[in-house]
Copies of this chain bind each other. A is one copy, B any other.
Amino acid sequence: MSSGLITIKDIARELRISPSTVSRALKNHPDISEETKIAVNELARKLNYQPNAVALSLKQRRSNTIGVIIPEIVHYFFSSVISGIEDVAYDAGFNVIICQSNEKYDREVVNTRTLLANRVDGILVSISKETQQFDHFYKIRENEVPVVFYDRVVPGFEADQVIVDDFDAAYRATRHMIEGGCKKIVHFAGPQNLLIGQLRKEGYLKALREAGLETRNEWIMEADNFEKARLAVLNILDEKVNIDGIFAVNDTTAIGAMHTLQKRGVKVPNQIAVVGFSDGRLSGITDPALTSVDQHGYEMGTVATEILLKRILAENKNYPFETRVLNANLVIRGSSVKEIS
């Protein structure tokens, strides 16, 4: 923090008035005469006065800052969320402190400490893949700092939440594959300690059962990134597991699967259809383009921030928690549409 910055006192001294008068003049307080108001504002502009937000925070016990804990910025979905958060916060005059957990529990815990120490007015969290213990969130609550979970929530933790209807989206995605003629669909699943991992799997299972199709435990493989998808596909091909569709828990995984299939000469979608989840920047540009579920990251960011700000600004914060479910639409592209043969 530079020492060069002008304070209200500097203006007061120069104008031979008291700091409080300057303060009031600056906020256009009715008590102050036009004359002094003009003098003060003029000098303030001339000296390029910037009110010290830190002092304000301390005084008002309100930092006008919200904290964000995000698993990994370098994902189209998450960076879209941040973008949404940023835009809404910015319009409301709030700053955003970003903390990456890098999908690590330990780091997530430190992140919450940092944000509390910085007296953020509220926190937006999507939990890491590793997180299985939630004391740190209870600590936030004890400190009466509002939290909104987005996308990856803590099961059973009462709080505002913004999620996508993962269950339904996975169900519809799988049904789409079935309607397209798939009968033996495997699922590349996410970590089952994350609710979204469970829900996407359940949606997949529901669609299969509803259609009277076979479900098998071996058809559910934990694979949630490019490399794991590659290995899983190699395994499938080597073991000659007979399948005609892959529903992946996210796009990177789906793309990893598609690549490996194609490298091995398997035709997508005709031999094996592939569907992803998240609809990142990637989905449009593969060949064939990837069918995926649009998760509306930007919207999730805006909605979560609106909910958080509402609670921050509320007189009485004890109104019931809200769970907002965004609907995720299936974007059908080439990777799932088998050609008529």
Contacts and interface: CB of A to CB of B under 8 A. Distances in A.
A304 to B, nearest CB: 16
A166 interface: no
Interface string A92-119: 0001111110000000000001101111
Copies in the complex: 2
A326 interface: no
Contact of A63 (B48, B54, B100, B139): B54
A327 interface: no
Contacts of A54: 54, 57-58, 63, 118-119
Contacts of A74: 76, 79-80, 83
Contacts of A79: 73-75, 79
A284 to B, nearest CB: 9
Interface string A271-299: 00000000001100111000000000000
A133 B143 CA distance: 45
Given A83-B72, A83-B100, A86-B100, A1 B50 contact: no
Interface in A48-63: 48, 50-55, 57-58, 60-63
A53 B119 contact: yes
Contacts of A52: 58, 117, 119
Nearest to A140: B2
A142 interface: yes
Contacts of A316: none
A203 B91 CA distance: 41
A34 interface: no
Contacts of A4: 142-144
A82 interface: yes
Contact of A282 (B87, B96, B97, B281): B281
A117 to B, nearest CB: 4
A145 interface: yes
A17 to B, nearest CB: 23
A74 B139 CA distance: 32
Nearest to A312: B1
A82 B63 contact: no
Nearest to A113: B50
A73 to B, nearest CB: 5
A259 interface: yes
Interface in A325-340: none
A341 interface: no
Contacts of A60: 1
A3 interface: yes
A55 B58 contact: yes
Given A72-B83, A74-B76, A282-B282, 12 more contacts: A2-B143, A4-B142, A4-B143, A50-B113, A54-B118, A73-B82, A74-B83, A75-B79, A76-B76, A82-B98, A95-B97, A285-B286
30 contacts: A1-B61, A1-B62, A1-B121, A2-B143, A2-B144, A2-B145, A5-B119, A50-B113, A51-B117, A52-B58, A53-B119, A58-B58, A65-B97, A65-B118, A73-B79, A73-B83, A74-B76, A74-B79, A76-B281, A79-B79, A86-B98, A86-B99, A86-B100, A87-B100, A90-B99, A90-B100, A96-B97, A98-B98, A282-B285, A286-B287
